Amino acid sequence: MIEPGAVLLDVRDLHTYLHTRWGVVKAVDGVSFSVREGETLGLVGESGSGKTMTALSVLRLVPQPAGRIVKGQILLEGDDLVTKSEYQMRRVRGRRISMILQDPQTSLNPVFTAGDQLVEALRVQHADSRANLWQRAEDALRRVRVAAPEQRMRDYPHQMSGGMKQRVVGAIALAGEPRVLIADEPTTALDATIQLQYLTLLKDIQSRTRLAMLFITHDFGIVARMCDRVAVMYAGRIVESGPVRALFRTPRHPYTEALMASVPRMDANVARLPSIEGQPPALHRLPAGCRFAARCRYAEDRCRREYPPTFVVGPAHEAACWRAEPSRSGP
Amino acid sequence: MSRIESPIALAPPAIGAASDARPRADLARLPWTAFVIIVVAVLVAVFAPLIAPYSPTEQSLPDKLLPPAWEEGGSTNHLLGTDLLGRDVLSRLVYGARVSLTVALSALLAGGGVGLMLGILSGYFGGRVDGLIMRVVDATLTFPTILIALLLTVSLGQGLRTIVIAVTFIIWARFARIVRGEVLVVKARDFVALARVHGCSDLRIMAVHVVPNVMNTFMVLLTLHVGFVIIVEATLSFLGAGIAPPTPSWGQMVADGRGHIASAWWLSVVPGAAIMLVVLAFNLFGDWLRDWLDPRLRQM
């Protein structure tokens, strides 16, 4: 583990709502977290829990005109991104904060070679002569450990493997030397061996550049491998966050507990893999109390009435559950 | 119109692309026949005065309705025979190429350009912009082609300019609609989102990421519409709303000969065959162009 430094990204009480024909969808509803220099924060949760919307909010790329950040602060090195104009945001994106998306197949423009796309990304950051840009693009490929970059530069995306494409995507994302990188399930579309290579690569780059990473995934295996801390999202809110080790050993929120129980294990012999019954609540008709109450096996009356505040349950470990209230014993 | 599908969907994946896979085999696949026809048509149009044996408008009543040279009674003086007024059909055909190709080219550039631009704006921005542009497209497409042309002829007078305007008005909407559809596909792909993540402006994204990806479709649309435009021009001229006589255009030549198809078939068949050949050639060329423009197909 890398010794974490100063806080680079600090999100406070973020609310991102989508205005749809069915009403206001509270995709992100009061999310706070921070990521330090050289640290990786995992953002875990099932589909539709607001992970990706959180990431898009940080980049101020919420789908327009439906989506809007209605409340909260996004402090990037102390600089609030929420109040920035679109023009100012353009100078932030790519240079100070960047992102890798899930699917390398569509992350590259099919009509240009890898080199052209890297050069294009570099040019947006810094105007320079084409020869210099080309040279820098080659260096960027070398940094993501592409073999024979001078040849790969001339390849079109369809000539590259998925892993290779995702490396190029990574090189493009890192071309502007950002301090913060958001990785939205970057290895989901890759096969297992390439996944491992790619994760190792990201780790190595992080240890060299002290990049702060926000790693979105639903794979606890990847969390264990990649992250220093982890935040679990459910229905637009973070229900539990803490150091990976503590959270894995003693999950304090029933949702985290249930999620971990539903991960297949090699060492436990179970007849049937436990799953979480029911569906998450619709984000435009949220219940008054705890959002997980309807699916929670510990739920009591109070859970259905009041949303639990966030309790500190250990060093840097927090959970939003009544059962974690200090006066009571843990689950 | 099945050919105007997304080129992406059509492209089979290149398996194990050749080691030194730069554009190479492409020219070998050029449909030479089609290409030669197009080049000849263009050359003929450009050098019409040098090629035509006679003036296209000079009448000579004693020589009227001479059959082509290979028919009985034909002579080598008039290789493709003469028309009702004794004008040389070959010369009229040569000058007609000029008119037809000029109309096709200028109308395509104007109509295609407008359509491309509006289609991109419409697809890229969506929402109200899209709604507005697409309703105008709908309205335009519901207008009967012939009616627009006749209206324009009445208000602007017969001539090349009128017909170019009329054809532009007719085809821009087709371009806009198809380009918009393509833009929607391209826009949904991650590289557009990533371009934004890297700090590209809308204008830059459109220019760098969207336009090159729809260019393919656009070029194919252009070549496929060459035929359409030539036929529209021919139709209008046939109806008398096109090029004013005595300037020859292919459509008008077909029209002039229609009353004599039994006795003097060459009057309609010769320009008709010219239209058919050129349209066919452009369509074949368009097919090839589509493959050639797709980097995945180019190297196979």
What are the sequence ranges of the domains in chain B?
82-298
Q: Do B197 and A94 touch (CB under 8 A)?
A: yes
Return the pLDDT at B246: 73
Q: What is the spatial order of strands in the sheet that A67-76 belongs to?
A: A23-36, A7-20, A67-76, A79-80
Q: Do B21 and A111 touch (CB under 8 A)?
A: no
Pairing relationship of beta strands A229-234 and A317-319 according to DSSP bridges: unpaired
* Residue B258, number of CB atoms within 10 A of its CB: 11
Return the pLDDT at B26: 58
| Distance in angstroms (rounded) separating the CA atoms of residues A246 and A244 | 6
Q: What is the spatial order of strands in the sheet that A40-44 belongs to?
A: A97-100, A180-184, A212-217, A40-44, A229-234, A237-243, A317-319, A311-314
Percent of chain B surpassing pLDDT 70: 88
B28, pLDDT greater than 90: no
Q: Do A124 and B17 touch (CB under 8 A)?
A: no
* Residue A78, number of CB atoms within 10 A of its CB: 9
Q: Do A93 and B209 touch (CB under 8 A)?
A: no
Q: Do A173 and B190 touch (CB under 8 A)?
A: no
Interface of A with B (CB under 8 A): 59, 61, 65, 89-95, 98-99, 101-103, 106-112, 117, 120-121, 124-125, 154-156, 158-159, 169, 172-173, 175-176
Q: Are A305 and A289 in contact (CB under 8 A)?
A: yes
Pairing relationship of beta strands A40-44 and A229-234 according to DSSP bridges: parallel
Per-residue pLDDT band for B90 (boundaries 50, 70, 90) equals confident
Q: Which of B10, B130, B189, B190 to mutate to test the interface with A (most CBs of A within 10 A)?
A: B190
Per-residue pLDDT band for B27 (boundaries 50, 70, 90) equals low
| Distance in angstroms (rounded) separating the CA atoms of residues B94 and B76 | 17
Q: Count interface pairs A-B at CB distance under 8 A.
A: 80
Per-residue pLDDT band for B4 (boundaries 50, 70, 90) equals very low
Return the pLDDT at A3: 54
Enumerate the residues of chain A whose CB falls inside 8 A of the CB of residue B298: none
Report pLDDT digits (tens) over A243-284.
Answer: 999 998 889 999 998 888 887 777 767 777 777 877 888 888
Q: Which of A59, A61, A110 lies nearest to residue B295, judging by beta carbons?
A: A110
Amino acid at A276: I
Return the pLDDT at B117: 94
Report pLDDT digits (tens) over B203-236.
Answer: 888 988 899 888 888 888 888 888 788 878 878 8
Return the pLDDT at B13: 43
Q: Which of B192, B198, B297 to mutate to test the interface with A (most CBs of A within 10 A)?
A: B198
Enumerate the residues of chain A whose CB falls inside 8 A of the CB of residue B190: 101-103, 106-107
Return the pLDDT at B254: 83
What residues of chain A score a pLDDT lower than 50? 1-2, 330-331
How far off is chain B from A148, nearest CA to CA, in Å? 13
| Distance in angstroms (rounded) separating the CA atoms of residues B288 and A90 | 40
Q: Do B199 and A91 touch (CB under 8 A)?
A: yes
Closest to A318 in 3D by CA, of A250, A263, A235, A265 = A250
B2, pLDDT greater than 60: no
Note if the bond before A65 is cis, omega within 30 degrees: yes
B1, pLDDT greater than 50: no
What's the fold here for domain B82-298? Answer: MetI-like fold (1.10.3720)
How far off is chain B from A127, nearest CA to CA, in Å? 13
Q: Where are the beta strands (DSSP E) in chain A?
A: 7-20, 23-36, 40-44, 67-76, 79-80, 97-100, 180-184, 212-217, 229-234, 237-243, 311-314, 317-319
Return the pLDDT at A330: 46
B135, pLDDT greater than 90: yes
Return the pLDDT at B14: 44
The residue with greater pLDDT, A177 or B297, is A177
Enumerate the residues of chain B whose CB falls inside 8 A of the CB of residue A65: 127
Q: Which of B189, B196, B215 lies nearest to residue A106, judging by beta carbons?
A: B189
Q: Do B213 and A120 touch (CB under 8 A)?
A: no
Angle at CA B194, nearest 5°, toward B5 and A181? 155
Return the pLDDT at A212: 93
Enumerate the residues of chain A whose CB falls inside 8 A of the CB of residue B198: 93-94, 98, 121, 124-125, 172-173, 175-176
